Amino acid sequence: MSKTPKPSASKDSSTRRSFLRQAPLLATGAIAACAQSEQQTAPAIQSQQHFKWKMVTTWPKNFPGLGTGANTLAKYIEAMSGGRLQVKVYGAGELVPASGVFDAVSGGTAEMGHGVSYYWKGKHEATQFFAAVPFGLNANEINGWLRYGGGQELWDELYAQFGLKAFPVGNTGVQMGGWFNKEINEVGDFSGLVMRMPGLGGEVLRRLNATVKSLPGGEIFQALKTGAIDATEWVGPYNDLAFGLHQAAKYYYWPGWHEPGTALEGMVNAKALAALPSDLQAIVAYACQAANEDMLNEFTARNNGALQILVKKHGVQLRRFSDELLTEVGKTAADVVAEIAGKDPFSNKVYTSFDAFRSASVSYTRISEEAYTQARALTFG
């Protein structure tokens, strides 16, 4: 068997000389690779830039459910961004009045706002369809319309005119019908009543000969207590108990025909949003989505206990609007909404989309949510 020859000393020496000749080239290549790596990571370093935003709201500072909902949104944004986007929340009147939120965000005084879109009907009548429509969509339905029924695209189209992007950021669920110091037995009992009610519901009451006020939340209790208004709606047991409205009126009516599922909005200045890196833009959107679910969950849970406190501890008298009254109010509401839709082509486009979704929802809800609720009542009352 032959032996494998060993490398000669001369060949080994030649290999070393070759490496030494190539070393400068290898070093140059390594330096170039490092420079290229630094260029590739530059955007990542840039994306670590920190931003500080202001959020103005239509709610009293830290008010349960609504004001704290704004706080929750700010907390989610900061946590999801690892602190790269910090949002300071201002209650109504701290930086701008409640009525000035839309203009403040549109004009860039604040990067973000938290409120309800029916407050801005003076900007465009169609804003009201994205909040609450009398005898309209409930909370689950309006979320469905916005996300999968074309509603968000219409909202985007409307708000783009004002340099804004809007997101749903919460929902109260079905609201209560309001607080009264007299019984409301028929439609005629609204005549001459001075009542706080915003949005399309307020316009319905005007048609029923009531005098309607659109007061911010922080002014409601005092107005009702002093008799500046005769009646008010606010939200539901959780928020109404926090405002102490039971101390100013004794009759508490249901159902809240005027706001069957009120969607809150988080509006963002479009330029401020575009200035964020793409990952922070996504974080703003998904934080709004998380806050939207969180608020509805909270109202669903807390309204239950608050209603028991109002009735059992404070002696509030629950009253249901009669079917006859609701039928008459519903007819007036249909007329009001149709007139709003007919004011301009865009309002009509929004209403057409909204109404088509409502029609489909009514058909399905009748054999799903509504049917189940009735079946459950057979056992649990």
- Residue 258: closest CA among 376, 51, 69, 116: 116
Whether 213 shows a pLDDT value over 70: the answer reads yes
User: pLDDT, tens digit, for every residue of 77-86?
Assistant: 999 999 999 9
Q: Where are the domains of the chain?
A: 51-171+262-299, 178-259+311-380
Q: 34-38, 276-280, 296-300: lowest mean pLDDT where? A: 34-38
Q: 45-49, 231-235, 323-327: lowest mean pLDDT where? A: 45-49
Q: What is the CATH number of domain 51-171+262-299?
A: 3.40.190.170
* Sheet-wide strand order for 85-90: 85-90, 51-57, 112-115, 263-269, 164-171
Residue whose structure tokens are 């590739």? 40
Q: What is the CATH number of domain 178-259+311-380?
A: 3.40.190.10
Distance, in Å, from the CA atom of 299 to the CA atom of 307, rounded to the nearest integer, reads: 12
User: pLDDT, tens digit, for every residue of 131-160?
Assistant: 999 999 999 999 999 999 999 999 999 999
Q: Which two tokens stand for residue 324?
A: 């006859």
Say if CB 304 and CB 293 are below 8 A apart.
no
| pLDDT higher at 33 or 132 | 132
Asked if the domains 51-171+262-299 and 178-259+311-380 are classified in one and the same CATH topology, the answer is: yes
Report the share of the chain in percent with pLDDT over 90.
Answer: 86
